[in-house]
């Protein structure tokens, strides 16, 4: 028995972000989906009949946001730390320990309730595919607990036991624990392994051990790198074939070249990408603003041929927002991206960073991050005639209807 079909017509501007499309931005467009699958896209005047019809009223349509970097499993409040930072105190990685204590003290019920509320906030803002990490447990039992809870809500989960060395622990002994008992405990619940390769967190040698252990366990790899200053994060990410390196605030010419080289076999220019994806540079502008760090050089990276993603980095210490629209507006207004480049980074770029851009991800789900026949029906309609309004009217609540796998999340 076939699923009921739904036609959304009278879309003033449809940004498909489909790299294979001859025209990735359509005017006066329509889209049809059956169940969770997109079955047709084209001019509204040519739209086929469907069981149901939604009139978009000239509003803009675009893929749901793909937020490829969040830390949503946490309890506690760090607003005092934020106030101190705004008053001039420098950001250091050690603030993570405050959240670790509060999160360990929270019950499964409370952590699940908090996670569900944060995921719902993200969905209401147009996010239809969500990654989140562990990393506020920092011992075997807590990391397993957080991974298990995250796996019940997020679309994909990253193991970040290598977030910070706990107070009083020996760094090398803790790294060994991350690579052995902790990794084994979380393995049933996670798809990715990550490491905070940074001064005050994990050294290059320790980060290498974590990445190798993750690879040996069959996990995809990610890296927190080059956030607080120059470091080995980018080079390690490229060496290990990591799907992304995130933050990337402090890059040398060699770092940019290494990232660009990782994409050499993927496809020319902004094409569909017929080869193996390289390492995505994930920029986290909300975090950069909150820490008063230099904004990541997204324009330089794009011009060099690097694929870029935008993500919220929603966390209690440095970026307590899941608003991808805010990240898009910042990328346009302050990072030198065009509107369509920023939208692409927040949709298709995030899907690339999570390797769900083709539908060949680990659980066999349909492709996300772009609108094309066969892809998952993840779509948002803005209360605006074009995506340009995301930056033209920054901070305004423009998200209208949101569909995730064909199901309305927000009407």
Domain containing 97 — which CATH number?
Answer: 3.20.20.140
Question: Is 172 in the same domain as 32?
Answer: no
Q: Which tokens is 133 given?
A: 């990490």
b/e per residue 163-196 (b: at least 16 CB within 10 A) = bbbeeeeeeeebbebbbeebbebbbebbbbbbbb
Q: Does residue 360 lie within any of the structural domains?
A: no
Task: Provide the angle, in degrees to the nearest 10, between the axes of the packed helices 108-124 and 140-151.
Answer: 40
Question: Is 302 in the same domain as 378?
Answer: no
- Selection from 315, 390, 394, 396 nearest residue 65 by Cα: 390
| Cβ neighbourhood burial of 49 (10 Å; 0-12, 13-18, 19+) | exposed
Question: Is 107 in the same domain as 31?
Answer: no
Sign of the torsion angle spanned by Cα atoms 111, 78, 391, 57: positive
Report how far residue 225's alpha carbon sits from residue 249's, in angstroms, rounded to the nearest whole number. 8
Residues contacting residue 273 through CB under 8 Å, at least 6 positions apart: 19, 266, 267, 357
Going by pLDDT thresholds of 50, 70 and 90, the confidence category of residue 272 is: low
Question: Is 281 in the same domain as 382?
Answer: no
DSSP 260-271: HHHTTTT-STTS
The helix/strand/coil state of 24 is coil
Q: What is the pLDDT of residue 361?
A: 38
CB half-sphere exposure, 212, CA atoms < 13 A: 8
Question: Is 189 in the same domain as 123?
Answer: yes
Q: Does residue 359 lie within any of the structural domains?
A: no
Question: Is 253 in the same domain as 391?
Answer: no
Question: Is 336 in the same domain as 308?
Answer: yes
For 48, the domain range is 5-64+369-410
Q: Does residue 88 lie within any of the structural domains?
A: yes
Enclosing H/E stretch for 177: helix 171-177
Question: Is 319 in the same domain as 388?
Answer: no
Report how far residue 195's alpha carbon sits from residue 207's, in angstroms, rounded to the nearest whole number. 6
What count of other Cβ atoms lies within 10 Å of the Cβ of residue 108?
Answer: 11
Going by pLDDT thresholds of 50, 70 and 90, the confidence category of residue 93 is: low
Q: What is the pLDDT of residue 362?
A: 41
Boundary-marking domain end, from 310, 329, 354: 354
Domain count, the chain: 2
Are 45 and 370 spatial neighbours (Cβ–Cβ below 8 Å)? no
Cα distances from 397 to residues 381, 384, 394, 407, 409, in angstroms, run: 12, 10, 9, 21, 16
Model pTM score: 0.95
Question: Is 194 in the same domain as 283?
Answer: yes
Q: Does residue 131 lie within any of the structural domains?
A: yes
pLDDT tens digit string along 217-237? 999 999 999 999 999 999 999
pLDDT tens digit string along 25-34? 999 999 999 9
Q: Does residue 79 lie within any of the structural domains?
A: yes
The helix/strand/coil state of 282 is strand
Instruction: Tell me: pLDDT of 200 over 80.
Output: yes
Q: Does residue 176 lie within any of the structural domains?
A: yes
Mean pLDDT within 369-394: 96
Mean pLDDT within 86-94: 75
Boundary-marking domain end, from 308, 328, 354: 354
Q: Does residue 362 lie within any of the structural domains?
A: no
Sheet holding 156-162, edge to edge: 65-67, 127-133, 156-162, 192-197, 220-225, 244-247, 280-283, 308-310
DSSP state of 76: S
Domain containing 23 — which CATH number?
Answer: 2.30.40.10
Instruction: Tell me: pLDDT of 305 over 50.
Output: yes
Report how far residue 43's alpha carbon sits from residue 369's, in angstroms, rounded to the nearest whole number. 21
Going by pLDDT thresholds of 50, 70 and 90, the confidence category of residue 292 is: very high
Task: Provide the angle, in degrees to the nearest 10, between the axes of the packed helices 339-346 and 324-334.
Answer: 140
Phi, psi at residue 163, to the nearest 5°? -95, -40
Q: Which residue has the tokens 């991050």?
A: 369
DSSP 215-231: HHTT-EEEEEESSSSS-
Which residues on adjacent β-strands are paired with residue 33?
6, 38
pLDDT tens digit string along 336-381? 999 999 999 999 999 999 999 986 434 456 899 999 999 999 999 9
Instruction: Tell me: pLDDT of 161 over 70.
Output: yes
DSSP state of 201: S
Question: Is 280 in the same domain as 174?
Answer: yes
Question: Is 11 in the same domain as 79?
Answer: no
Report how far residue 295's alpha carbon sits from residue 334's, in angstroms, rounded to the nearest whole number. 8
Are 122 and 67 spatial neighbours (Cβ–Cβ below 8 Å)? yes
Q: What is the pLDDT of residue 269?
A: 45
Q: What is the pLDDT of residue 84?
A: 87
b/e per residue 12-36 (b: at least 16 CB within 10 A) = bbbbbbbbeeeebbbeebbbbbbeb
Boundary-marking domain end, from 326, 354, 382: 354
Residues contacting residue 315 through CB under 8 Å, at least 6 positions apart: 70, 71, 72, 74, 99, 287
Instruction: Tell me: pLDDT of 47 over 70.
Output: yes
Question: Is 39 in the same domain as 146?
Answer: no
Q: Does residue 363 lie within any of the structural domains?
A: no
């Amino acid at each position: 028995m076939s699923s009921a079909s739904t036609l959304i017509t009278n879309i003033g501007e449809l940004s498909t972000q489909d790299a294979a499309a001859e025209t990735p931005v359509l005017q006066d467009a329509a889209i049809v989906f059956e169940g969770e699958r997109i079955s047709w896209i084209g001019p509204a005047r040519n739209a086929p009949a469907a069981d149901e019809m939604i009139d978009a009223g000239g509003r803009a349509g675009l893929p749901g946001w793909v937020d490829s970097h969040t830390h949503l499993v946490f309890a506690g409040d760090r607003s005092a730390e934020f106030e101190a930072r705004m008053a001039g105190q420098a950001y250091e990685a050690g603030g993570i320990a405050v959240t670790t204590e509060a999160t360990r003290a929270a019950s499964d019920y409370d952590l699940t309730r908090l996670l569900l509320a944060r995921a719902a906030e993200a969905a209401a803002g147009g996010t239809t595919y969500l990654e989140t990490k562990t990393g506020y447990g920092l011992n075997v039992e807590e990391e397993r607990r957080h991974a298990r809870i995250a796996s019940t809500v997020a679309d994909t989960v990253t193991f970040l036991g290598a977030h910070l060395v706990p107070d009083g622990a020996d760094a090398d002994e803790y790294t060994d624990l991350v690579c052995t008992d902790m990794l084994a405990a979380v393995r049933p619940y996670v798809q990715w392994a990550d490491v905070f390769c940074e001064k005050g967190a994990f050294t290059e040698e320790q980060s290498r051990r974590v990445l190798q252990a993750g690879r040996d366990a069959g996990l995809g790899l990610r890296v927190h790198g080059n956030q607080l200053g120059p470091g080995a994060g980018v080079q390690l990410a490229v060496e290990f074939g990591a799907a992304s390196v995130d933050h990337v605030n402090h890059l040398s010419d060699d770092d940019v070249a290494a990232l660009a080289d990782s994409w050499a076999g993927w496809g020319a220019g902004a094409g569909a990408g017929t080869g193996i994806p390289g390492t995505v540079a994930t920029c986290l502008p909300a975090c950069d603003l909150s820490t008063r760090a230099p904004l990541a050089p997204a324009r330089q990276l794009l011009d060099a041929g690097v694929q870029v993603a935008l993500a919220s980095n929603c966390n209690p210490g440095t970026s307590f927002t899941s608003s991808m629209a805010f990240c898009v507006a910042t990328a346009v207004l302050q990072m030198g991206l065009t509107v369509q480049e920023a939208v692409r980074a927040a949709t298709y770029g995030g899907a690339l960073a999570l390797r769900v851009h083709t539908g060949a991800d680990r659980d066999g789900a349909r492709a996300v991050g772009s609108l094309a026949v066969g892809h998952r029906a993840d779509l948002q309609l803005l209360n605006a005639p074009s995506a340009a309004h995301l930056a033209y009217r920054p901070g305004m609540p423009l998200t209208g209807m949101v569909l995730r796998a064909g199901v309305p999340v927000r009407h």
